Amino acid sequence: MSDYQINNPATGELEATYPTATDQDIQQVIEQADSAYQDWRQVSLSERGAFLHKIADIYLERQEELARIVASEMGKPVAQAKGEIGLVAEIYRYYADTAEQLLAPNKIDVSKGSASVEKLPVGVLLGIMPWNYPHYQVARFVAPNFMAGNTIILKHAPQCPKTAEVIADMFKEVGVPDGVYNNIFATNDQAATIIHDKRVHGISLTGSERAGQAVAKEAGGALKKVVLELGGSDAFIVAADADIKKAVKGAISGRFGNAGQACNAAKRLIVIDSVYDKFVESFTEAVNNMTLADPLDNKTFIGPMSSKAAAVNLQGQLDSAIEAGVTVLVEGGLVKDKPGAWFKPAVLTDVTESMDIYREELFGPVAVIHKARDIEHAIKIANDVPFGLGASIQTQDATLAADIADKLEVGMVTINAPSGTEANTPFGGVKRSGFGRELGTLGITEFLNYKLIRDKS
């Protein structure tokens, strides 16, 4: 049976199954992408950009429909899915409008003659994308590389096959030449085959640590460039002078948006001792007032998790933490008497360094609150994990914010708001959160041939 299925996480019902690609399909797609590259690289930037603007228009025109598909596939509330789709349109427009500037040659000052570095495409790329932001994750990989002149093979998450088809249909609808964007319902073994094919020149994966290790191993063996955006356990630091009402609002949004299933979610709330009680009282009250609701309702903030398997896995982590001695401030967990993947939000504190949960990523609606003696202690807690994706700082002191930001071992820091993403700002981390950057001016630089042209005459 195919892994590419729509299992509605709100109802637990299997709604559709899609056939997995055959090995012959894989070879045909690689050939298509490689053949298309030879012509696509010659297409002007203005023509490529026009395609992306048309796709952005379709996203906005079909926003409600696309959001409802996402809700049925992985449970995201439609209001949040519509926000994701709006961001996707911004990403496509950003690269359509800035690629000419970003891809302009760099002139080098030399003693004799001239020298420049041309920014050229490398060829066929494989993107392996996750389910939690099924349109956004694709856009941030595809948009810059499309504009750079590379061609794309896209392996989407098995639980988002309808979204994968819809995206491919958009490229076809606006007239993008065959072979430039290719959706493929591949197995993991088939993905490895694609990675090792000599016609494929780079791989981008957004996913778990385990997936990142597997892809990096295959890519390294094949001597291919790879970009990895992996897990995170982002700190949300609340300083003594923070606006507590605003901080609590940001922490709720940052921890429980998309049912807590974001790599850059505010997974660890680190609060300075002097405001700890006030923050905890307000935060737990807000969590207790949350209601799990239908993701198809535009008023819903938190719906089901993406799958029953994900919810069961998170419940196992929660059970282990309770057994290890954490304090439960808000009881939550898997809703066992309801079909689907419903998980009531939980809040934990008194997590010590000896517990597994201290350094684990909790990919779902479980918040961990740490009490810090002072800012230096907060920074120590923030850095004491194997991840380094992002962090958030809540303070009204700009000098203090800058000092904390400088000391955090992460790729992104947000001040006085939960971590987020924008089309024109780079996204990525350090340590076990992966390497490489997407979005912004850096996002288009990962898969290019920086060719030196040196004239000594």
**Hey, which residues are catalytic here?**
229, 263
Residue in this structure with the two tokens 């012959």, named with its chain if needed: 24
Residue 445 is classified by DSSP as S
- Residue linked to tokens 């997936």: 211
Determine which helix (DSSP H) or strand (DSSP E) holds 151, and give its type and residue range. Answer: strand 151-155
CB-based contact 198:126 (threshold 8 Å): no
**Residue 388 main-chain phi, psi, to 5 deg:** -155, 55
In the 8-state DSSP scheme, what is residue 306? Answer: S
- Phi, psi angle pair for 6, to nearest 5°: -105, 105
Q: Which two tokens stand for residue 398?
A: 């700009």
Distance from C-alpha of 146 to C-alpha of 232, rounded to nearest angstrom: 28
- Which strands sit side by side in the sheet containing 235-238, from one edge to the other? 327-330, 346-349, 366-372, 268-272, 235-238, 390-394, 412-415
C-alpha distances in angstroms, 343 versus 9, 81, 93, 151? 11, 19, 37, 40
Q: Which residue in 176, 94, 179, 164 sits closest to 444, CA to CA?
A: 94
- What is the helix (H) or strand (E) element at residue 50, kind and residue range? helix 45-61
Name the residue among 146, 94, 41, 32 with its Cα closest to residue 451: 41
Q: Would you say how long the chain is, in residues?
A: 457
Beta-ladder partners of 343: 334
Q: Tell the burial category of 228 from Cβ atoms under 10 Å away from its Cβ (0-12, 13-18, 19+).
A: buried
Strand 268-272 with 366-372, pairing:
parallel
DSSP assignment of 384-441:
SSSEESEEEEE-S-HHHHHHHHHH--SSEEEESS-----TTS-B--EETTEE--BSTT
The answer for 278, left when phi > 0, alpha when psi is -120 to 50, beta otherwise, is: alpha
- The helix (run of H) or strand (run of E) holding residue 139 is helix 136-148
CA dist 61 and 298 (Å) reads 17
